[in-house]
Amino acid sequence: MAGKMSIRHRLVAAVLALFVTLACTVPFMSPTPTPIPVVVVVTSSQPTSLPPSPEPPTATAAPTETPITHSLYPVEMKLPSGIAYDVDSKDTAPEHRAPYGDSYKLNRFERPFTRQAMDYLPDLDIVTFRITADDTWYYVFAELNGDDPNNPELDPRYGVELDLDRDGHGDYLIWAAPPFTDQWSADHVQVYADKNHDTGGPSPERSDAPYNGDGYETLIFDGGRGDDPDLAWVRYVPTGSFLIEFAFKRSLAGSTFMWGVVADGGIKDPSKYYYNDRFTEEQAGSPEKSEPYYPINEVYAVDNTCREAYGFTPNGYEPLLCPRPEAPPATQTVGCVNPGQYHDQASCEAAGCAWVIDPRYIAAVVYHCVAP
Ligand SMILES: [Ca+2]
Ligand SMILES: [Ca+2]
Ligand SMILES: [Ca+2]
Ligand SMILES: [Ca+2]
């Protein structure tokens, strides 16, 4: 009995609903049906479940991006004791110049300065660089003189260049963009490869300008998208100045390679590496007042380092290899200090250093200054 009543009630309700619907619809009927507005809620990480839409199919579908899932994270590593030094331009900054160490020919830039005005940009001035490793990762530390890697006017990029076969042509560039935080993140890290081996042009140790290769042209990792979502990471460590710390998989670099770091607030274009092949020396300018093309012009707001060897003892002929040995002026009080700063025999020997043939030059006898 209760069941029959219930069915009867439902029938009555259905009939009433039909009347109400007709009553509501009929006054609004028009010869052209009006599309029903649909509010589309789009989320960035997952496909949305939308009601059937009367809109024509020209409406753009929401991007169906798969969320990035990381399975391995870098850890906190102690700063390694092994340290390499880049030129510190802080002391000569008031004079709007770099002290030394910029070599257009070698694609080695000491240009943490604005174009032409040569105002100092400490957030781009690399002063030390180091590397260490654990079972999964290489960790590279770049120490900079500034205090803001998120400097909004510069929007700087910090990078690590890897040369796996030691020929001076960079093979990978790990390239990180703001915002940087003190937590490991892969979100703003990219890894570029040079698959056609034209970084550096025909000669990695000389300018080939004007050269139109495509530099680091292949993006193999982009914020976690790529074959390995955990390939490369970055964070920064405020230290009074700051450290940019990179972590990248050992599988990317192998067990022996050459590496250097770069801070770029100027051109910021991996496809134009190396910059000394894109601009003549005159176009690039120079940060040293003793040079004819002072001040810096087309190649500006950039600092990079020489290349260090990892996992092998360099023979001295590796292109772009850091001069050896290179020691900090602050920790040496006697004897030859930072011989790379002397560019003539008299000042080299006066400082207690030795003026010897530079083994990196095969075609010509070139002297450079080293520790005796
Ligand atoms: Ca520097
Ligand atoms: Ca190479
Ligand atoms: Ca070149
Ligand atoms: Ca290339």
**What's the gap in Å between 200 CA and the centre of ligand 4?**
9
Which tokens in the block code for residue 335?
Answer: 């004897």
Whether the predicted model's global pTM rises above the 0.95 cut? no
Instruction: Kindly state the helix (H) or strand (E) to which residue 350 belongs, with its residue range.
Output: helix 345-350
Residue 249 CA to residue 228 CA, distance in Å, equals 9
In angstroms, what is the span from residue 348 Cα to ligand 4's centroid?
39
Whole-number Å distance, alpha carbon 28 to ligand 1 midpoint, is 73
Residue 344 pLDDT: 86
Of the candidates 185, 208, 163, the residue with the CA atom closest to the CA atom of residue 304: 163
Q: Which residue has the higher pLDDT, 203 or 64?
A: 203
Q: 18 is written with which tokens?
A: 């039909």
For residue 1, the CA-to-ligand 4 centroid distance in Å is 84
Q: In this structure, which ligand is nearest to the CA of 102?
A: 1
User: Alpha-carbon distance 244 to 126, whole Å?
Assistant: 10
Give the tens place of pLDDT for each residue, 120-167: 999 999 999 999 999 999 999 999 999 999 999 999 999 999 999 999
Q: What percent of the chain has pLDDT over 70?
A: 78
- State the residue for tokens 């990029």: 157
Among the bound ligands, the one closest to the CA of 277: 3
Q: How confident is the model at residue 372 (pLDDT cuts 50, 70, 90)?
A: confident
Q: Which residues of 347-368 are buried (b: 16+ CB within 10 A; e: fewer)?
A: ebeeeebebeeeebeeeeeeeb
Ligand 4 geometric centre to CA of 272 (Å)? 9
The model's pLDDT over 250-266, given as tens digits with 9 standing for 90+, comes to 999 999 999 999 999 99
Burial class (CB in 10 A: 0-12, 13-18, 19+), 188: middle
Inter-residue contact 276 to 176 (CB < 8 Å)? no
Cα(124) to centroid(ligand 2), Å: 25
Quote the ligand 1 centre to 110 CA distance (angstroms). 5
- Please write the tens of the pLDDT for every residue from 320-358: 999 876 556 655 557 888 888 888 888 888 888 898 887
Burial class of 63 by CB neighbour count within 10 A (0 to 12, 13 to 18, 19+): exposed
Please report the pLDDT score of residue 265 as a whole number: 98
Q: How far is CA 320 from the centre of its chain?
A: 19
Q: What is the mean pLDDT of residues 199-224?
A: 97
Asked if 171 and 193 touch (Cβ cutoff 8 Å), the reply is yes
167 CA distance to ligand 3 centroid (A)? 12
Q: Taking residues 353-367, what's their average pLDDT?
A: 73
Percent of the chain with pLDDT strictly greater than 90: 68
pLDDT of 7 strictly over 70: no
Report the separation in Å between the CA atom of 202 and the middle of ligand 4, taken as the mean of its atom positions.
Answer: 12
Q: Is 20 helix (H, G, I), strand (E, B) or coil?
A: helix
Task: Find the 330 Cα to ligand 1 centroid distance in Å.
Answer: 16
Mean pLDDT of 156-184: 98
Cα→Cα distances 214→109, 197, 211, 223, 305, Å: 20, 9, 9, 22, 22
Mean of per-residue pLDDT scores for the chain: 85
* Å from CA of 213 to ligand 4 middle: 6
Residue 43 confidence (pLDDT) above 80: no
Ligand nearest to the CA of 123: 1
Evaluate whether 164 touches 342 at the Cβ level (below 8 Å): no
Choice among 25-34, 88-97, 124-133, 280-289 with the minimum mean pLDDT: 25-34
pLDDT of res. 335: 82
Domain coordinates in residue numbering, the chain: 84-322, 324-372
CA of 152 to the centre of ligand 1 (A): 20
Ligand nearest to the CA of 274: 3
Q: Band of the pLDDT at 26, cuts 50, 70, 90?
A: very low
What are the pLDDT digits (tens) for 87-123? Answer: 999 999 999 999 999 999 999 999 999 999 999 999 9
